[in-house]
Chain A
Amino acid sequence: MTTGAAFLRIEELVRATHRRPGAGYLALVLLSAAAAAFGGWCWALMIRDGMWRTGLNRPVNWGTFITNFVFWVGIAHSGTLISAILLLFRARFRTAVYRVAEAMTVIAVTTAGLFPVIHLGRPWLAYWLFPYPNQRGLWINFRSPLIWDVFAVSTYLIVSTIFLLVGIAPDAAALRVRAGGWRRRFYGFFSFGWRGTGEQWRHYTRAYLFFAAFATPLVVSVHSVVSWDFAVSIVPGWHSTLFPPYFVAGAILSGLAMVLTLLVPMRRLLHLEPLVTPRHLDMLSRLLLLTALVVAYFYAVEYALSLLRGPLPERSTFLDRATGRYAPLFWMMLAANFAGPLLLFSARVRRSPKALFFIALGVNVGMWFERFIIIAGSLSHDRLPFLWRGYAPSWVELGITLGAFGWFFFWFLLFVKLLPSVSIAEMKVQAVEEAPRDA
């Protein structure tokens, strides 16, 4: 195959994903839009009636919403990991998958960012969390980890959005050449005046590398900051110096799992098998396995430290996790996050997209449980036994959770239909680099 033909083939494959949508696709879009709308309605109920609509109580003041927040921030992480860190490490297999991961990051951060607002008692005052000059002389408390969150998440959103848009520019330009009508204008917008000159390529590669270098520490910092929401408090089960690396590892694990969960069906439905090959899946699942082992190590350290050396409330909280109210969730979490990924030691499993899909889905669920257990489980078993009390989400909370998935998939589906979900430019570069070996 000549490079020219290879280029054409890559472009065709990507353009094929943008064909007139079928009934299935439209049904999915409608379904996710309906779910998002339902979540919005649930939120409206909560705004009207108060947090009464949730299952929250004293002592469990945080529950499903904060779990969702951490979950979506976690999902957002592997986008940057795959795209930026692997770029810096020159890992080739990232090329085929990183655009999906980046898009996932931006949409997931947007989703995550909703929850701190939703969970407020008075969400209409959420802007008070920003340091803006005002005549009332109000200011924010920089000692509060929630303020650090505001900065961390908004920074992450801005950087990952820019990163995504910069990467899209040459691809959008390539697609614009053969597009007509509104698509032409649409790709024109996203190509930001891209002409493909040598100068532009030079700027592009440097800018892209620069943003990759800029985003990499964010992967570590954002989820460290999120973990400080817990680690800075004095709640047994939260108050631990282990939390920042533990949360970062957990975030990467859940993010990788989400990438696999999305990529496996997408590659099939959008006929991207030639671009996203089993080798790519294999590499991703090795990464997943590695992260799962790291997370398992953190589990072991966390439990061992608190059970062997921790003060009494700490020990009591961890015993409660394994034997108490949320014990079924705890053991399911261990099975999903640790036992499941162990299967990936087998090459056969790694090469089976179906098996990968289910293991990844399991990790997604397990990671959600993990956050839930840390948040609601620790609060339900705090220092004062007189006020130990369980928590279960109300249907409104579940509705908003469902709505968040709807919201996420709605934008994701629009993305794959409208923008290149595989990087054309980088695939072409790869094709050129691999050409001599093919010949």
Chain B
Amino acid sequence: MGERNETGFSFGRRVVLKLLAAAGALAGCSPRPDVEKLVPYLVPPEHAVPGEPLEYRTLCRECAAGCGVTAATQAGRAVKLEGNPDDPIGRGALCARGQAAVQALYDPERASAPLRRAPDGRLAPITWDEAVGQLAAALAAAKAKGRGRIRLLTRPEPGSAGVVQRAFLHALGAGAEHRVVFDPLDPAPLRAASKALFGRPEIPAHDLGAARAVVSFGAELLETWISPVELTRGFAQGRGQVGPERPRFTWIGPRLSLTGASADRWLSVRPGGELAVALGLLRFITDPSRRAPGLAPEAPSLFRLVKALSPAELAARAGTSSARIAALGVELVRKRPSALLGPGLSSQGTDATALAAVILLLNHVLGNVGRTLLYGLDPLDDPPSSPSAPAALVEEMAAGRVDVLLVHHADLLGWLPPALGADRALTRVPLVASFADRPDATRARAHLVLPDHHPLESFGDVAPRRGVVLFGQPVMTPLGDTRAASQVLIDVAARPPLGTPLPFDGFGALVRERAERLVRAHGAGAPVVDSVREAFQRGVVTWEVKPAVVSLRVGAAEPFLAPPPSPPGAALELVVFPTPLRAGAAADRPGWLREVPDALTTLSWIGWAELSPATAARLGVATGDRLALATAAGGAELPAYVYPGILDGVVAVPLGGRDPLALLGGARDPRSGALAWRAVLASAARAGPGAPLPRLEGSAYTEGRRITRTVTPAEPALPRPSGEEAMYGPPEHPKHRWSMAIDLDRCTGCQACVVACFAENNVPVMGPQAAAEGRYMGWIRVERYFGSEPGELDVELMLMLCQHCANAPCEPVCPVYATYHTAEGLNAQVYNRCVGTRYCSNNCPYKVRTFNWRDPEFAPPLHMQLNPDVAVRSKGVMEKCTFCVQRIRRAEHRARREGRALADGDIVPACAQACPARAIVFGDAKDPASRVSALRRDPRGFAALDELNTQPAITYLARVRSGR
């Protein structure tokens, strides 16, 4: 060591050099420089303004409907998805699942690198080079063994991804039959019936806006069926009218679904009774003695085919009365055009194609085809394979005839009933490669995981309809080391020993090429787009396509018109139904979709089994008890939920997770191959008390209070309260009073607004325990009342959020002014000022304030989704709806920058933006010309709990009841 000086410390030259060398060596040992950039850009992108969201148009791949979306990014991260207003399918709205897609992007469980199953059975990260090499080698070996050893299981890819897949299989010497396109929710019976009757294997498009009567045979059109956003929009167009011009909506099924809750009438039939009703209607309408005017010319010949069926017998088989069927028939003859829709998942039994066919015949006879039911618009770009194809694939796998199985976003294990044995069959496949980026049941068994980009990180294109092509583009740098699955296929094909390069430069280039082709197309019905850039900027290219004129093959109808089978006696029957939040496989549902309660049962996080009060009493089961269900195929144990909107003798289980599938035996509709989502229960018994349910509702009834209101054609207006004098004068709103109108006649309870609010306002996901303890944090909720008193069934849905009262009970009780009334009519909540007395929540009659019982958790990388415009609240403070004040401010700033006054419609809160039914309107009540001002004067308008004289900023428009 060096010499000591007077202070006792000294560093000689050598010591300093040694220390420097040691520090340098240690720094070099650090595995990764732990440096994070505070300012991510040295040279910022041209359009990125800090604090100002940069929006990209892209597409949603959550279901087969194919909606365009607008992704708002801040500081290079996607924070919010909204619909693409230029997209004719969604027109700017986006459903709950679409809203939640952005959360899936930041799923902590997402794979950030390719994984290979190590000998010990665990998935371990490898490099892309290794992964591509291994897959290429395995494919080459399988190819050498002969045709059919390589299979690709994929979701429908109606776009360039499908082109790549087909070319890839072709290059490997495999045929189209080796590519199984799997969409478990595809309405295959409708395709089969369309093909048989009209010679078109299509899903028709629906124009519900033109329909004067809508009849759904178990089709969950407002939840998951075909294209829910588009159907909801069309459905809502006619709502809000009180007179005879109001379209009448009839729901037919054993269970009053959320879609059924919006119906004017519920025709309850036993499971499978839909077909008997449809046949009864067909016979009634085509009966020449009724002389219904303007029926299709085939009506008499159809009547001859159904003449032999006795209406009384049909009604008995449906479990209803012939008078009710006749009443519906009279209405359908009178109200035209109409739209009859079905079957949906819950009415998809073993006779689903026959049901679909009779529904189509009814539509044809009534002249709806070509008016509300449009053929020739299904692009048939990549339609699903026969629904029995996955089962056939499983058999081949089990027989050891498959060497390589590529799985592209099709969760075989998660969606096939376990009775089909996919689990065992997978063990016989030497190499299973999954492109899933998030864990699912099939990926958990894969040997090789090649994580795909999230759609927000990738190029893509989808054609949901003829005349519509949606383009997707990456809106941010991929979070992990993922690769577009199509690009991986291109790379694998080119890789020795396979060495069969595909004729594409790359996947992104392929998508751009498609856009270029559309730009180049000219002539009649040519797309309206000038450049590739514009196609991506708009996110969609559209062109005019006329619906096809179809003709009915009467001869083909005959096989579908056989009398329906008799009911199976006294046994309990099982029905599986989808909900807007539970339409995906359980494993990949993002947190928001789990946290938000189901609208009808108010349960979150868990599956359940519904049964009627009488059935529950017979089984000795109460809500919350464990109910053990068993069928010939298997069993499941679920918490019971006693639901008055279900027929006696029926147990209904929501889709999502293994439980419903375990109960299904894999019975199919023989004509279409579609899975029957129904079964006969061998037993149902109480298995003991359950844990407290994660459930939002307290009482299911309004208990005689004036919370929701209805109007009828006889009484189309609600009385206005006089508005008593308050102790203090009404608050002044010198410039604006931000207000909202919510049309309860349009609201379908789809929860899109709720999920949008979670995304926009950084509302935390608290988990099932919090839900069971009454600590759900949502700022807007769907309240569901079955009626006024127990025993009634008159389902009312009510959106409840902060009412921003002018005379707010929460404001005077706060000791520290953490909540106060702003000059613009907002009930503001200052988080920093709040000390957490919770008095405001006690005094809020609407109970819309939520308290932070603990610090919220946003597990990385979920924190990247947080909206930087909205504070994240900490434990001990109260929070609530702000009317999206950040959006109000942004619109004000924008207007000021552009040197203009705020216009009506400039400000759209997240909930109003998301609503597919356009039930929520926001604006300035001080502006007499604004839409919201007009709606506040609507005769259907009322304020919730108006006896308290809180003078809310929210006006509800009453649901219209058109009588029984």
Say if A and B assemble together: yes
Pick from A58, A121, A141: contact of B847, CB under 8 Å: A58
Which one of B264-272, B431-439, B701-709 is at the A interface?
B701-709
B307 within 8 A of A: no
Chain A residues, Cβ within 8 Å of B851: 51, 58, 61, 121
Interface string of A354-398 (1 = CB under 8 A from B): 000000000000000000000000010011111111000000000
Which one of A33-41, A144-152, A408-416 is at the B interface?
A144-152
B945 within 8 A of A: yes
B817–A120 contact, CB under 8 A? Answer: no
B833 within 8 A of A: yes
Which one of A4-12, A227-235, A336-344 is at the B interface?
A227-235
B816–A388 contact, CB under 8 A? Answer: no
* Known contacts A139-B817, A143-B812; 13 further A-B pairs (Cβ under 8 A): A50-B854, A57-B774, A58-B841, A61-B839, A119-B838, A141-B814, A141-B815, A141-B816, A146-B839, A233-B813, A385-B707, A386-B696, A386-B783
B853–A51 contact, CB under 8 A? Answer: yes
> How far, in whole Å, are A54 and B876 apart by their CA atoms in the complex?
12
Closest residue of B by beta carbon distance from A58: B774
Closest residue of A by beta carbon distance from B775: A57
B956 to chain A, nearest CB (A): 14
B835–A125 contact, CB under 8 A? Answer: yes
A376 to chain B, nearest CB (A): 11
Pick from B701, B776, B835: contact of A126, CB under 8 Å: B835
* Nearest 8 CB-CB pairings of A with B: A121-B836, A388-B698, A121-B876, A57-B774, A50-B875, A385-B699, A61-B838, A50-B854
A233–B705 contact, CB under 8 A? Answer: no
Which one of A161-169, A247-255, A310-318 is at the B interface?
A310-318
> How far, in whole Å, are A233 and B798 apart by their CA atoms in the complex?
25
A121–B815 contact, CB under 8 A? Answer: no
B837–A120 contact, CB under 8 A? Answer: yes
B697 within 8 A of A: yes
A59 within 8 A of B: yes
Q: Please list 29 pairs of residues, one from A and one from B, whose beta carbons are closer than 8 Å in the complex, sorted by A's number.
A: A55-B773, A57-B774, A58-B775, A58-B841, A59-B841, A61-B842, A62-B842, A120-B836, A120-B837, A121-B834, A121-B851, A121-B877, A122-B875, A128-B833, A128-B835, A141-B814, A144-B815, A146-B837, A147-B815, A229-B839, A233-B809, A234-B843, A235-B842, A385-B698, A386-B697, A386-B707, A386-B783, A386-B785, A387-B698
Name which of A121, A139, A313 has the most chain B CB atoms within 10 A of its CB.
A121
A237 to chain B, nearest CB (A): 11
- Knowing A57-B773, A57-B775, A385-B701, the reply to whether A62 touches B816 (Cβ < 8 A) is no
B829 to chain A, nearest CB (A): 13
Within 8 A of A (CB), among B831-870: 833-839, 841-843, 845-847, 849-855
> How far, in whole Å, are A54 and B854 apart by their CA atoms in the complex?
11
> How far, in whole Å, are A388 and B783 apart by their CA atoms in the complex?
12
A311–B843 contact, CB under 8 A? Answer: no
Interface string of B350-368 (1 = CB under 8 A from A): 0000000000000000000
A384–B707 contact, CB under 8 A? Answer: yes
A121–B852 contact, CB under 8 A? Answer: yes
> How far, in whole Å, are A126 and B705 apart by their CA atoms in the complex?
38
Pick from A138, A229, A311: contact of B816, CB under 8 Å: A138
A385–B705 contact, CB under 8 A? Answer: yes
- Knowing A61-B842, A385-B702, the reply to whether A129 touches B835 (Cβ < 8 A) is yes
* Main SS class of interface, B: loop
Pick from A120, A235, A311, A382: contact of B876, CB under 8 Å: A120
A140 within 8 A of B: yes
Name which of B703, B815, B851, B876 has the most chain A CB atoms within 10 A of its CB.
B815
B855–A50 contact, CB under 8 A? Answer: yes
Chain B residues, Cβ within 8 Å of A141: 812, 814-817
Residues of A in contact (CB 8 Å), total: 49
> How far, in whole Å, are A407 and B699 apart by their CA atoms in the complex?
40
A382–B702 contact, CB under 8 A? Answer: no
Closest residue of B by beta carbon distance from A142: B815
B815–A234 contact, CB under 8 A? Answer: no
> How far, in whole Å, are A146 and B818 apart by their CA atoms in the complex?
13
Chain B residues, Cβ within 8 Å of A129: 815-816, 835
A210 to chain B, nearest CB (A): 32
- Knowing A58-B774, A233-B813, the reply to whether A384 touches B845 (Cβ < 8 A) is yes
B600 to chain A, nearest CB (A): 13
B876–A122 contact, CB under 8 A? Answer: yes
Chain A residues, Cβ within 8 Å of B698: 385-389
A49 within 8 A of B: yes
- Knowing A51-B853, A387-B698, the reply to whether A140 touches B845 (Cβ < 8 A) is no
Chain B residues, Cβ within 8 Å of A234: 809, 843, 845, 948
Interface residues of A (CB under 8 A from B): 49-52, 54-62, 119-122, 125-126, 128-129, 138-141, 143-147, 150, 229, 232-235, 311-313, 316, 379, 382-389
- Knowing A50-B854, A121-B852, A386-B698, the reply to whether A233 touches B842 (Cβ < 8 A) is yes
A384–B846 contact, CB under 8 A? Answer: yes
A146–B813 contact, CB under 8 A? Answer: yes
Pick from B702, B773, B817: contact of A140, CB under 8 Å: B817
B77 to chain A, nearest CB (A): 28
B888 to chain A, nearest CB (A): 24
B800 within 8 A of A: yes
B947 within 8 A of A: yes
A318 to chain B, nearest CB (A): 14
Closest residue of B by beta carbon distance from A127: B835
Chain B residues, Cβ within 8 Å of A385: 698-699, 701-703, 705, 707, 785
Chain B residues, Cβ within 8 Å of A62: 838-839, 842
B813–A121 contact, CB under 8 A? Answer: no
Name which of A61, A125, A235 has the most chain B CB atoms within 10 A of its CB.
A61
B816–A121 contact, CB under 8 A? Answer: no
> How far, in whole Å, are A224 and B372 apart by their CA atoms in the complex?
68
> How far, in whole Å, are A396 and B625 apart by their CA atoms in the complex?
28
A121–B838 contact, CB under 8 A? Answer: yes
B770 to chain A, nearest CB (A): 8
A384–B847 contact, CB under 8 A? Answer: yes
A272 to chain B, nearest CB (A): 43
> How far, in whole Å, are A232 and B707 apart by their CA atoms in the complex?
23
Interface string of B84-121 (1 = CB under 8 A from A): 00000000000000000000000000000000000000
B876 to chain A, nearest CB (A): 3
Chain B residues, Cβ within 8 Å of A384: 705, 707, 783, 800, 845-847, 945
B835–A388 contact, CB under 8 A? Answer: no
> How far, in whole Å, are A57 and B775 apart by their CA atoms in the complex?
6
> How far, in whole Å, are A62 and B843 apart by their CA atoms in the complex?
11
B945–A383 contact, CB under 8 A? Answer: yes
Chain A residues, Cβ within 8 Å of B697: 386
Chain B residues, Cβ within 8 Å of A382: 845, 847
> How far, in whole Å, are A56 and B878 apart by their CA atoms in the complex?
14
Closest residue of A by beta carbon distance from B706: A312
A140–B815 contact, CB under 8 A? Answer: yes
A383–B875 contact, CB under 8 A? Answer: no
Chain A residues, Cβ within 8 Å of B849: 58
Closest residue of B by beta carbon distance from A141: B817
B745 to chain A, nearest CB (A): 20
A128–B816 contact, CB under 8 A? Answer: yes
B405 to chain A, nearest CB (A): 46
Closest residue of A by beta carbon distance from B770: A52
> How far, in whole Å, are A128 and B815 apart by their CA atoms in the complex?
9
> How far, in whole Å, are A143 and B812 apart by their CA atoms in the complex?
6
Closest residue of B by beta carbon distance from A60: B774
Chain A residues, Cβ within 8 Å of B847: 58-59, 382, 384, 386-387
B812–A59 contact, CB under 8 A? Answer: no
> How far, in whole Å, are A141 and B842 apart by their CA atoms in the complex?
17
Chain B residues, Cβ within 8 Å of A119: 837-838
A47 to chain B, nearest CB (A): 9
Pick from A120, A146, A312, A389: contact of B774, CB under 8 Å: A389
A132 to chain B, nearest CB (A): 12
> How far, in whole Å, are A55 and B770 apart by their CA atoms in the complex?
11
Chain B residues, Cβ within 8 Å of A386: 696-699, 707, 783-785, 798, 800, 847
